[in-house]
Amino acid sequence: MSESSSSLNSSERRSFLGKLTGMIAAAIAAFLGVVAGRFTLSPAFQKPDEEGSWQIVGPVEEIPEHVPTKQSIVVSQPAGWGRFNSQQLLWVVRDDSNLKVFSATCPHLGCTVNVAASGFVCPCHGSAWDANGQRVGGPALRGLDTLNTRIEDGILKVEYQHFKQGIATKEVVS
Ligand code: FES
């Protein structure tokens, strides 16, 4: 009688330990699932950073007038689990009260546009633009891409965007 009782208790104990082990394993799996889900899915649900694409160029007063001035900025963009920084070039044209900022990325295939005697030129395939960024020749199908600007406390800021290349219209891609 006592052997049978002891055998039963041992069986019950094994059953209880088996269930306990299963519950602990399930709890660990659930915890790891939450952690993994948070890191893999959260970038997809993040709200865009409204201020993220506005970059400081510098004090307006320090930008020379009547000559295109090349400026570089560092653009930070979301990329999967983190952020990706890249240097981007701009041409700033300041004439009296008028200020324009062009992306230095050629709208043909993306080479860097240089300043020329009467405007801008791309060294890769010879596209050319006048001083206002209007296309005057070459394979590029549109003018230089202008960037949105704002001035806060005398500081010029640009909203940096990438545009689709090789087409006649200006289309934002990021
Ligand atoms: S990349 Fe500029 S003209 Fe082709």
Looking from the CA of residue 106, the nearest atom of ligand 1 is 2
Is 147 within 8 Å of 163 (Cβ atoms)? Answer: no
What pLDDT, on a 0 to 100 scale, did the predictor assign at position 151? Answer: 94
Cα(121)–Cα(166) distance, rounded to whole angstroms? 16
What pLDDT, on a 0 to 100 scale, did the predictor assign at position 5? Answer: 53
Cα(41)–Cα(150) distance, rounded to whole angstroms? 34
What are 48-107's pLDDT values in tens digits?
Answer: 344 557 899 999 999 999 999 999 999 887 777 788 888 999 999 998 778 999 999 999
Tokens 């890191």, located at residue: 39
The binding-site residues of ligand 1, defined as CB within 6 angstroms of any ligand atom, are 106, 108-111, 122, 124-125, 127, 138-140
pLDDT higher at 18 or 88: 88
Cα(61)–Cα(100) distance, rounded to whole angstroms? 14
* Residue 107, helix vs strand vs coil: coil
The amino acid occupying position 17 is L
What are 145-174's pLDDT values in tens digits?
Answer: 999 999 999 999 999 999 999 999 999 997
pTM over 0.85: no
Is 92 within 8 Å of 67 (Cβ atoms)? Answer: no
Lowest mean pLDDT of 26-30, 69-73, 105-109, 128-132, name the range.
Answer: 26-30
Tokens of 140: 């590029």
pLDDT band at 26 (very low <50, low <70, confident <90, very high): confident
Q: Which of 103, 109, 163 to mutate to test the pocket of ligand 1 (most atoms within 8 A of CB)?
A: 109
What pLDDT, on a 0 to 100 scale, did the predictor assign at position 24? Answer: 83
User: Which residue's alpha carbon is nearest to atom 4 within ligand 1?
Assistant: 125
